[in-house]
Every structure is written in structure tokens, then in C-alpha cells.
Structure 1
Amino acid sequence: MIKYNLKCKNNHNFDVWFSESSNFEKQNKKNLIFCPKCNSTKIEKSIMAPNIGSKKQSYTNTLKTEKIYEKIIKNFRKHVEKNFEYVGDKFADEARAIHYGEKEEREIYGETSVEEAVDLIEEGVNVSPIPGVDPKLKN
């Protein structure tokens, strides 16, 4: 895995991991990388220093970090499921209707394609991907 320090057009810095260096370029070219603070898709690499450590230390740190992120994502997902309305694959239509005042404003979540999400953002609809498991795939 390769860790990149990224910066959006609004100067928000954030870290992202990629399995290959070419994945950043491919995903960034398609506007698939979003700033977690402002949802901007105008992203560039920031200056960073390499982190070189022993394999054991690196593996242990990675496991600890993964557990922390898993807990954060799980808690975030629970919050969304408890407080937002699930609209399934109608997400894009519902988000647009709310944005344009055709439906009552409320917090929603659901599924949509990456292309549709990019279209929503370009229209000014405030959307953000939610990390975690697809509700249809939960046990």
C-alpha cells in the first residue's frame, strides 16, 4: 500500500492509501477522489516525507490503524442508519428533489453510481460517500 498526503483546491489536507501508485492518477483523472471536508474533486498530491520502518512495526501499526478506522466507520454508519432515512437506489433522485425544493428537506442515505455522485456534486447537491458495508450485503 502507498500512502499519499493529498490536498484539495480549498487547501484541506488528508491522507489516502492506494494499492498502486497508478491508482491515484487513474482515480483522480475520473474525479473519483473526494475531499472529506468539502467534497471537492480538485485534488493534488501534497509534499510528504517517506515513512520507513521495520516490516513488523509497519504491520503492527497498520493493524492498529485499521482497527481504529473500522471502529470509526462502524460508529459513523450506525449514526447514519439511526438518524437518516434510507432511500436505497433512489438516492440521486431524492437528493436532487430535496436540493431543488421539490421535496421536504431531510437527511437521507442510499446508493448511486460514482458517475451519478459526480453529477450531483457538479449540480451543487451536498453529497458525500459513506464508508462501510453496502446495506444489501450485511449479514
Structure 2
Amino acid sequence: MIQYALKCAEGHTFDSWFQSAEAFDRLARTGMVSCAVCGGTKVEKAVMTPRVSTGEKPKGPLSKPASPAEQAMAELRRRVEENSDYVGADFVREARAMHDGDIPERAIYGEARIDEARKLAEDGIPVAPLPFMPNRKSN
């Protein structure tokens, strides 16, 4: 995993994690990276400062998001997790089954390969990439 500082065409800055540098490039080229603040898809890497680990563990509770973009991302994650069912790797199957009327509609989120998400969208099934990695939940 690699973390990048990103900046959209509107000047909003935010951080996001990617599986690899190649994964970021591929997702950005296809418009699948979106701004955590405005949702714009014209996103590029911003200048980053190196993160140096001192080996010390953080003191006290986990820190709260500092920037408005981080706060927006944290709020988005909270709302998605609170109001949607995590279906993990079953996302494509669940989304298609709801669209076809085989199961009742409900808000879901999960994981899909880019080609699978593209096929859902081409078939008229509404999907959108999340600007964060889902917490992997187990039953």
C-alpha cells in the first residue's frame, strides 16, 4: 500500500491509499479517483513531505482528522458505514441482483475490480468509487 497526497482541479487537498503506484496511475487515468471534498475526478499527486518514523508509539487516543478534507473523509466514512451494509467481495453480485429485482434494494458498499465496476456502470447499475478503503469486516 502507498499513501499519496492528492490535489483536485479545484485546489482541494487530501490523502488517499492505493495498492501501488501503478494502481493510482491506472485509476486516475480512468477517472476513478475522486476528490474527497468536491467529488471532482481531475486529481493529481501533490507535493508530499516525507514521513519519518521515530519508532515511538503515539501517546493518548488516536488523533482526529486535522484538515477540512480529512474531516470530510472521516464524516463520509462514518455515514457510509452507518447507513450501508458491507458486502465485501460480493458487491458485484449483490448490486446486480438488486438491479435485476432478485433481492430487495438496500444501500451497500464493498469491493470490486475496476473492470467489474465498469461493467456494472455500462449495464446501467449505479456505482461510485469510495475515496477510502473499506474496513474489512467479518461475520
TM-score above 0.5 = yes
SS at match of 2:87: strand
CA offset digits 1:69-93 (Å, max 9, x no partner): 1111111111111111111110000
- Structure 2 unmatched ranges of 5 or more: 15-22, 50-65
Counterpart CA distance in 1 for 2:101 and 2:11 is: 33
Distance 1:2 1:102, change over 3 A: closer
Percentage of pairs with the same residue: 31
TM-score, with normalisation over the residues of structure 2? 0.55
- Counterpart of 1:107 in structure 2 is 107
1:106 counterpart letter in structure 2: R
TM-score, with normalisation over the residues of structure 1? 0.55
Counterparts of 1:10-21 in structure 2 under 5 Å?
Answer: none
Distance 1:133 1:121, change over 3 A: same
- State the number of aligned residues: 106
- Counterpart of 1:63 in structure 2 is none
- Counterpart of 2:72 in structure 1 is 72
SS at match of 1:135: coil
Counterpart CA distance in 2 for 1:2 and 1:74 is: 16
Higher helix share: 1
Q: Which has the higher contact order (CA 8 A, sep 6+)?
A: 2
Counterpart CA distance in 2 for 1:88 and 1:34 is: 20
Distance 1:25 1:117, change over 3 A: same
Counterparts of 1:118-133 in structure 2 under 5 Å?
Answer: 118-133=118-133
Structure 1 residue ranges (4+ consecutive) displaced by more than 3 angstroms after TM superposition: 1-5, 13-17, 23-29, 32-36
Counterparts of 1:33-72 in structure 2 under 5 Å?
Answer: 33=32, 67-72=67-72
SS at match of 1:136: coil
Q: Indicate conservation of the 8 Å contact 1:99/1:125, yes or no.
A: yes
Q: CA RMSD in A?
A: 4.0
2:114 counterpart letter in structure 1: V
SS at match of 1:86: strand
SS at match of 2:112: coil
